[in-house]
Structure 1
Amino acid sequence: MSVLYITTQGAYLRSQAGRYVVTHQDQEITAVPEVAVEGVVLMGNIQVSTHATQALLDAGIPLIYLTRNGRFRGLLQPGYPRNAAVRLAQYEAALDTDFALAVARRLIDAKIQGEIDVLRKWRRNGWLVGDDPVDDLTDLRRTLDDRVVLSDLVGLEAAAARRYFQGLGAALPPPFVWAGRHRRPPTDPVNALLSLTYMMVVGEAISACYAAALDPLIGFLHQLDYGRPSLALDLIEPLRANGCDHLVMRLLQAETLTADDFVHGDNGCRLSEDAMRRYLTHYESFARSARGGRAALRTAVTRLARGLAKAVRDREPLVIDTSMEGPE
């Protein structure tokens, strides 16, 4: 089973004879058996028939709405979370300063470890030469237990991120260069790919939150902010480096995406339509791949959500399994 991504602007999705059929201007683009689909992602101006919507809901399949550039807009989730006790426990846990701090510390610890792991992987692959941030990140990680307020933890995480991104910049193949993190809008191809991949995984995390009966808006590391899916952002932190960033690096190193695949405009830098389709093919493969007993990216997000639900319900330490892997 796989996720059906629809990117053609003005396309129409309908359900017909046990298949999901995508058309554009009355011409069929693709058709897949309904039993082969585990999720549907609509990017931009895509229409969906009532029959297709009902078929997705009946099958328990989420329908995710993204902008044309991949920013999360909303989610049609089948049913509703039935375990209200988990949400109540989550709200209580978020108000427990000591518990919330412990969860935030665990998330940052796993994130920095992921940064260390992926930098070592890039060095093994011959992509990272010269300056090595691993020792500095290891030293920062050792001081986590000394940080007793959230603002100090956030400051440490920011310092680690700055040092890590220096390593990411050193590993980029020419002609790509690192000029710092620029999000809104992304100003260059590397930032465009990072932002797109983070947004894709945030969508996965929001869906995983609902499936685990969690509220995606109530986080522990990311604080409350109107409309921000703070818990979903929490969940992707341990997976940013070894998941999202590694996928971006692989695509650039293998020249799957080149500088010619990006367009620049008033809304910053983004992939061309053809390049977006290629990206989504590789993203889906990476999100589903698992080797050597290690979890795929999508499975890792689901495990994190379930682990957090258990932690808040039982008021026990959060256990994070970061043994997530895609191809080297």
Structure 2
Amino acid sequence: MVRFQINQDRSLRKWCLRHMTEKARAWVTVAGFGGHIKATRTTLTVRKKNEERRYEIRDVGHLIVVGGHTIHTSAVIALLRGGASISVFDADGRPAGQLTPPGRGDPAAELRNAQNRAFGHTYALTFAEKAMNERLLAIERYGHASGWDLLYEGELEFLHRSREEYQFLIKMDELRRLHQMNTDMYYEVMGRTLPAGLGFQRRKKRPHTDPINTMLSFGYAVLYSAANVAVVAAGLDPDHGVFKEGPGGLVYDIIDGFKPTMVDEPVFALARTGLREEEYETGNGRCILSECLTSRLLPVLHRTVREERIAAVVRDLAHSLATGKTFSPVY
């Protein structure tokens, strides 16, 4: 048993060194349809529509292919020989397979073992603090740009003090309750910046009866898909969250801090410009967005949901779990 544990620890240390090298190299994501991916021994070329991007093979740590594209075997060979992994997903973000360089063993299994051992209160606190920081910044950005009438007296100070209490909460349930209360308060504050006729007062569970909650859920689904691809590609278990529980828990942990800038702000901005009555239906106890409204919203989300920023947080998390170093993501 002792010999097995020593060998296991050595294997993880070797994997950590490889992972540290990959962390310092770029993750290249090719999404959508119609891309052409090829390579020489030194250069990876990605052509999509009229755009062509080139990367030095030595600078690529992971190629993530989502949707329908043409990939030449020259790219596969050059990347694997260069020490990069390749992950393939269908258009809906479901994993189809992964290629890893020879000698890697099963890096996903090793990382998930580290995830099972190391995940705990410290990681949950980091996710909660980062997410609340982003929500406070979103409130303050709106206040500086459009005035502070959205806030009742002492409300912002209360949120800041409440945020500072996170670090003193030892029990996970207490941290979850306080974070949920602050998140609910954030949505109530931002709801005051929207036209009253849209019926949004706070974030609610499905089925939604107003267009704002419906658009937010639509945007969060786009964000979730992007983050899930990065999590699976990294070899992490998407269902093993630390702050959020249940299926997709880790993905929800990761995207919580991205919601204010990548989804909330563009949805709220679109709503402030005005929604026409024909752009959504609110009958039968639920709201349904028209194709016209989703076609307005989706291009905005494609601009604001930044896969490279999400991938950077996922890489930082995997690196922290593999090496034991502090998890300090930048949202």
User: Is this contact kept in 2: 1:219–1:230, CA < 8 A?
Assistant: yes
Contact 2:211 2:287 in 1 (8 A): yes
Which residue, out of 150, 160, 166, partners 2:182? 160
Is contact 1:94-1:219 (8 Å) kept? no
Q: What do residues 33-71 of structure 1 show as CA deviations (whole Å, max 9, x unaligned)?
A: 497798667xxxxxxxxxx57x37978663232xxxxxx
Residue of 108, 121, 144 corresponding to 1:101: 121
Look up the equivalent residue of 1:131 and give its one-letter code. L
Give the CA deviation at 1:242.
2.6
Residue 315 of structure 1 pairs with residue 324 of structure 2: yes
The answer on 1:229 being equivalent to 2:238 is: no
For 1:157 and 1:105, locate their aligned partners in 2 and report how far apart those are by CA, in whole Å: 10
Determine if contact 1:81/1:212 at 8 Å carries over to the other structure: no
| Identity level (%) | 18
Secondary structure class of the residue paired with 1:134: helix
Cα distance in 1 for residues equivalent to 2:31 and 2:282: 28
List gaps (5 residues or longer) in structure 1: 5-12, 19-31, 42-51, 66-73, 288-296, 323-328
Q: TM-score, normalised by structure 1?
A: 0.71
- For the aligned residue pairs, the C-alpha RMSD in angstroms reads 3.2
User: Counterpart of 1:129?
Assistant: 149
Task: Say which of 248, 263, 268 aligns to 2:267.
Answer: 248
Q: Secondary structure at the match of 2:240?
A: coil
Structure 1 residues 91 and 167: CA distance shift in structure 2, 3 A? farther
> Is 1:218–1:230's contact at 8 Å kept on the other side of the alignment?
yes
Q: Describe how 1:152-301 pairs up with structure 2 within 5 A.
A: 152-223=174-245, 225=246, 228-255=247-274, 257-266=275-284, 268-287=286-305, 297-301=306-310
Contact 1:304/1:321 (<8 A) preserved:
yes
1:87–1:100 Cα change, 3 Å:
farther
Number of the residue aligned with 2:17: none
Q: Deviations over 1:5-29 (max 9, x none)?
A: xxxxxxxx8x79x7xxxxxxxxxxx
The size of the alignment, in residue pairs, is 266
Q: Structure 1, residues 236-293: CA drift from partner, whole Å, max 9, x if none?
A: 01112232211211211233x5443112355821321122122111111223xxxxxx
Structure 1 or 2, whichever has the larger Rg, is: 2
The alpha-carbon distance between structure 1 residues 259 and 109, as it changes in their structure 2 partners (threshold 3 A), is farther
The alpha carbon displacement at 1:175 in A equals: 2.7
Higher mean C-alpha deviation, range 110-119 or range 56-65 = 56-65
- Greater shift, 274-283 or 229-238, is seen at 274-283
**Cα gap change, 1:181 to 1:264, in 2 (>3 Å):** same
Contact 2:263 2:301 survives alignment (8 Å): no
1:62 equivalenced with 2:81 (yes/no)? no
**Residue 259 and residue 239 in structure 1: after superposition, are their counterparts in 2 closer, same or farther (change >3 A)?**
farther
Query: 1:139 and 1:158 mapped to 2: Cα distance?
Result: 15
Contact 1:86 1:309 in 2 (8 A): no
**Which residues of 2 match residues 77-96 of structure 1 at below 5 A?**
77-79=96-98, 84-85=106-107, 87-96=109-118
Once the two structures are overlaid, the 10-residue window that deviates more, 198-207 or 125-134, is 125-134
Give the match's secondary structure for 1:166: helix
How far residue 77 of structure 1 moved from its aligned partner, in angstroms, is 4.1
SS in 2 for 1:79: strand
119, 140, 158: which one aligns with 2:139: 119
Q: CA deviation at 1:216?
A: 1.2
**Could you say if the C-alpha distance between residues 212 and 248 of structure 1 is closer, same or farther in structure 2, counting changes exceeding 3 Å?**
same
Q: Which consecutive unaligned segments of at least 5 residues does structure 2 have?
A: 1-28, 37-47, 54-63, 76-85
Asked if the contact 1:90–1:313 (Cα under 8 Å) also holds between the matched residues in 2, the reply is no
Contact 1:114–1:241 under 8 Å retained in 2: yes
* Distance verdict in 2 for CA 1:176–1:276, change over 3 Å: same
Does structure 1 retain, via aligned residues, the 8 Å contact 2:90–2:96? yes
Q: Paired residue for 1:306, among 302, 309, 315?
A: 315
Q: 1:147 to 1:284 in 2, by over 3 A?
A: same
Amino acid at match of 2:307: R
Partner secondary structure for residue 175 of structure 1: helix
Using the TM superposition, give the Cα deviation of residue 213 of structure 1 relative to its aligned residue in structure 2, in angstroms: 2.0
